C-alpha cells in the first residue's frame, strides 16, 4: 500500500468552502424560449431580483466570512502547503537557490573522499545551488534543530548499495551542522567508510540516535554456486531469501531501502553470478523478472517482520545515470541541469518497486527520486572522485542531489511524526 499524501481535513474543507463562496454558479441565463413577451418580462424581473439579492447575500458573506477564512489559512499555511492532496512532491523542477549547499563536505568527517567533488578539484560550483521545487507546494526548508529533535532516541537504517551509502553520508553531514561538539558524533566501531564494508553506524551521542548503513546491493542472499552446476556459474542470487543480515534491520524506527544499480548483466552474468530459486538454478531468467522476484521476497519480509507501529518504511526508486556512452565509459558532467529529462525520468526498476509496494500490507513510502534526479547531469562525480582517471556518471557529488533525497525523506518523516502521537 503506497502511503499517499494524507489530506488535512481542515484545510481541504476550508478550500471547498472558499470555492463555493467565490463562485456563485446560480448566475446562469435562464432559458426562456417559446414563451410570450409578457411572461418573459415577469420572469426576467423575478430572476433579476433573485440574482441581485443573491449577490447581496454573497457580499455580506464575503465581508464576514472571508477574514476568518484568510486567518485560518495563515494559521495553517505550513501544514496546508505540505499536506495538500493535490501536491505530488515528485512533480516539479529545479530552481536556483543561493541558500545551497547546506554544508561543506570538507568539514564533515563522514563524507568518503570519492564523493567530495569540490575537495577533489572540481572548480565550477553552480551545481551546488539548485533546490527541487514541487509544482503545487514547497518542501519546507531544512531545519537542523527540528530534525535533531525528531531523531532523538531513534534508530535510522539505510539498506542498499553505494547510492544508499551516499544518502547515509549526506544525512549525517546535514545533521552535523547542528551539532556543536563534533566529537560527540562517531562511528560505533571506529571504522572508516570504505566501499566494501557491510555495516557502518554513526551515533549522535548527545541526541541518543544512530544512523546506520547496511551494504546489501541486491537485498537478497548472494551465495556460492551449488556444487553440481555448470562451470560458468560461480555464485548465485537466492531470489527467494532475503540477505542473511536481515535480522539487523528489524528494530529500526526508520528504514530506507534501495536496489537497482547492481542488476545489470556486467555485474551479474559477467562475474558468473546467476539466479536461484529454492534449490534450482534459473539460468534463463531475465534480470527484470529476477528483480521482481527479489522484490516480492523483500515485500513479504517487510509484511511479516516489520511492525508498522514502530517502523517507517521507505523505498527509494532508481537513481538515473548520465553516461554519454556507458560501454566506452564516456561521461561528460555538465555545468547546469538538463532542461528535459531525455527519457531518464522512468525506469523499469522504479516501475517494479511501485507495483510491488502497491500490494503490501505494511505502508511503504516510495521516494520516487528518479524524475527529479534525471535532470541532474551536472551533479555526478565525473573525474572528481578518488579515481580521477575514470570518469563516473553514476555516483553523485555530495553535497548535491542526495541532500535533496534526504529533504524528501525528512518531509515525509516530519509530517508522519507530527500526525501521530507515537514517537
Ligand atoms: C570548506 O572547508 C574547507 C576546510 O575547512 C575550506 O578550505 C573550504 O574553503 C570550504 N569550502 C567552502 C566552499 O566554503
Ligand atoms: C536512547 O534511545 C533508546 C532507544 O533507541 C532508549 O531505549 C533509551 O532509553 C534512550 N536513552 C536515553 C538516555 O534516553
Ligand atoms: C498497531 O497499533 C494498532 C492500534 O494501536 C493495534 O491495533 C495493532 O495491533 C498494532 N499492531 C502491531 C503489529 O503491534
Ligand atoms: C557506444 O560505443 C560503442 C562502441 O563504439 C557503440 O557500439 C555504441 O553504439 C555506443 N553507444 C551509444 C549509446 O552511443
Ligand atoms: C564531452 O565533452 C568534451 C569536451 O567538453 C567534448 O569534446 C565531447 O564532444 C563531449 N562528448 C559528448 C559525447 O558529449
Ligand atoms: C587509473 O590509475 C590507477 C593508478 O593511478 C591504475 O591502477 C588504473 O589502472 C588506472 N585505470 C585506468 C582505467 O586507466
- What does the pLDDT look like over 272-298, one tens digit per residue? 999 999 999 999 999 999 999 999 999
| Domain identity same for 185 and 246 | yes
pLDDT digits (tens, 9 = 90+) for 359-384: 999 999 999 999 999 999 999 999 99
Give yes or no for a cis peptide into 101 (omega within 30° of 0): yes
| Domain identity same for 267 and 311 | yes
Minimum CA distance residue for ligand 4 atom 13: 325
| Domain identity same for 237 and 323 | yes
The helix or strand, by DSSP H or E, that contains position 80, with its residue range, turns out to be helix 77-83
Longest dimension (CA), the chain: 101
| Domain identity same for 66 and 162 | no
- For ligand 4, pick from 323, 325, 331 the residue to mutate: most ligand atoms within 8 Å of CB: 325
Query: Of the residues 77, 99, 122, which one is the last residue of a structural domain?
Result: 77
Alpha carbon distance 261, 349 (integer Å): 9
Q: Rounded to 5 degrees, what angle do the CA atoms 301, 302, 307 make?
A: 125
Q: Please report whether residue 253 resides in a domain.
A: yes
- For ligand 3, pick from 309, 310, 363, 422 the residue to mutate: most ligand atoms within 8 Å of CB: 309
Going by DSSP bridges, is the β-strand pair 254-257/312-316 parallel, antiparallel, or unpaired?
Answer: parallel
| Domain identity same for 47 and 94 | no
| Domain identity same for 123 and 73 | no
Q: How far is the CA of 1 from the centre of ligand 5 (A)?
A: 44
| Domain identity same for 142 and 97 | yes
Q: How far is the CA of 227 from the centre of ligand 4 (A)?
A: 38
Query: Of the residues 28, 43, 77, which one is the last residue of a structural domain?
Result: 77
Q: Please report whether residue 43 resides in a domain.
A: yes
Counting every residue written for the chain, the total comes to 423
Q: Among 173, 127, 194, 114, which Cα is nearest to 384's?
A: 114
Alpha carbon distance 405, 382 (integer Å): 20
- For ligand 4, pick from 321, 323, 324, 327 the residue to mutate: most ligand atoms within 8 Å of CB: 327
Does residue 232 surpass a pLDDT of 80? yes
Q: Please report whether residue 82 resides in a domain.
A: no
Query: Of the residues 22, 55, 77, which one is the last residue of a structural domain?
Result: 77
Alpha carbon distance 107, 93 (integer Å): 29
Number of domains in the chain: 2
pLDDT mean over 80-86: 47
- Exposed e or buried b per residue across 327-366, where buried means at least 16 C-beta atoms within 10 angstroms of its C-beta: eeeebebeeebeeebeebbebebbebbeebbeebebbbbb
Q: Please report whether residue 143 resides in a domain.
A: yes
Q: Please report whether residue 4 resides in a domain.
A: no
| Domain identity same for 73 and 95 | no
Does residue 32 surpass a pLDDT of 70? no
Does residue 153 surpass a pLDDT of 50? yes
| Domain identity same for 203 and 129 | yes
Residue span of the structural domain in which 195 resides: 89-418
| Domain identity same for 337 and 392 | yes
Q: Please report whether residue 2 resides in a domain.
A: no
Q: Rounded to 5 degrees, what angle do the CA atoms 265, 271, 274 make?
A: 70
User: Is residue 389 lining ligand 6, measured as CB closer than 6 Å?
Assistant: yes
Q: Please report whether residue 83 resides in a domain.
A: no
| Domain identity same for 95 and 47 | no
Least confident of 236-245, 325-334, 393-402: 325-334
Amino acid at each position: 500500500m503506497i502511503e499517499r499524501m494524507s489530506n488535512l481535513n481542515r484545510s481541504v474543507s476550508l478550500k471547498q468552502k472558499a470555492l463555493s463562496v467565490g463562485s456563485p454558479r446560480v448566475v446562469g441565463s435562464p432559458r426562456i424560449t417559446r414563451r410570450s413577451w409578457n411572461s418573459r418580462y415577469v420572469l426576467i424581473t423575478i430572476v433579476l431580483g433573485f440574482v441581485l439579492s443573491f449577490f447581496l447575500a454573497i457580499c455580506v458573506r464575503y465581508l464576514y466570512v472571508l477574514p476568518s477564512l484568510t486567518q485560518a489559512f495563515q494559521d495553517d499555511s505550513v501544514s496546508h502547503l505540505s499536506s495538500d492532496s493535490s501536491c505530488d512532491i515528485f512533480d516539479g523542477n529545479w530552481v536556483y537557490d543561493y541558500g545551497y549547499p547546506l554544508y561543506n563536505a570538507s568539514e564533515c568527517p563522514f563524507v568518503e573522499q570519492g564523493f567530495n567533488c569540490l575537495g577533489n578539484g572540481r572548480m565550477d560550483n553552480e551545481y551546488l545551488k539548485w533546490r527541487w521545487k514541487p509544482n503545487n507546494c514547497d518542501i519546507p526548508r531544512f531545519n537542523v534543530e527540528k530534525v535533531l529533535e525528531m531523531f532523538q532516541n531513534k534508530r535510522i537504517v539505510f539498506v542498499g548499495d553505494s547510492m544508499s551509502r551516499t544518502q547515509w553520508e549526506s544525512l549525517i553531514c546535514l545533521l552535523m551542522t547542528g551539532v556543536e561538539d563534533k566529537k560527540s558524533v562517531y562511528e560505533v566501531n571506529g571504522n572508516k567508510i570504505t566501499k566494501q564494508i557491510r555495516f557502518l553506524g554513526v551515533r549522535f551521542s548527545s541526541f541518543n540516535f544512530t544512523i546506520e548503513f547496511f551494504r546489501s546491493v541486491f537485498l537478497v542472499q548472494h551465495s556460492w554456486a551449488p556444487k553440481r552446476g555448470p562451470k560458468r556459474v560461480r555464485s548465485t542470487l537466492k531470489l527467494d531469501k532475503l540477505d542473511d543480515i536481515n535480522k539487523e534491520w528489524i528494530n529500526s524506527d526508520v528504514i530506507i531501502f534501495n536496489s537497482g544499480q547492481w542488476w545489470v548483466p556486467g555485474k551479474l552474468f559477467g562475474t558468473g553470478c546467476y539466479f536461484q530459486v529454492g534449490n534450482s538454478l534459473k539460468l534463463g531468467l531475465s534480470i527484470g523478472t529476477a528483480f521482481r522476484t527479489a522484490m516480492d521476497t523483500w515485500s513479504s519480509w517487510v509484511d511479516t517482520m516489520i511492525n508498522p507501529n514502530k517502523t517507517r518504511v521507505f523505498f527509494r526508486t532508481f537513481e538515473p545515470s548520465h553516461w554519454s556512452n556507458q560501454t566506452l565509459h564516456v561521461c561528460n558532467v555538465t555545468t547546469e541541469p538538463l532542461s528535459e529529462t531525455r527519457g531518464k525520468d522512468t525506469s523499469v526498476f522504479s516501475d517494479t518497486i511501485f507495483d510491488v509496494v502497491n500490494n503490501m500490507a505494511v505502508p511503504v513510502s516510495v521516494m520516487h527520486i528518479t524524475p527529479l534526479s534525471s535532470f541532474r547531469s551536472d551533479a555526478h562525480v565525473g573525474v572528481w572522485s578518488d579515481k580521477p582517471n575514470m570518469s563516473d556518471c553514476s555516483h553523485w557529488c555530495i553535497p548535491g542531489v542526495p541532500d535533496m533525497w534526504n529533504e524528501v525523506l525528512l518531509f515525509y518523516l516530519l509530517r508522519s511524526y507530527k500526525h501521530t502521537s507515537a514517537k
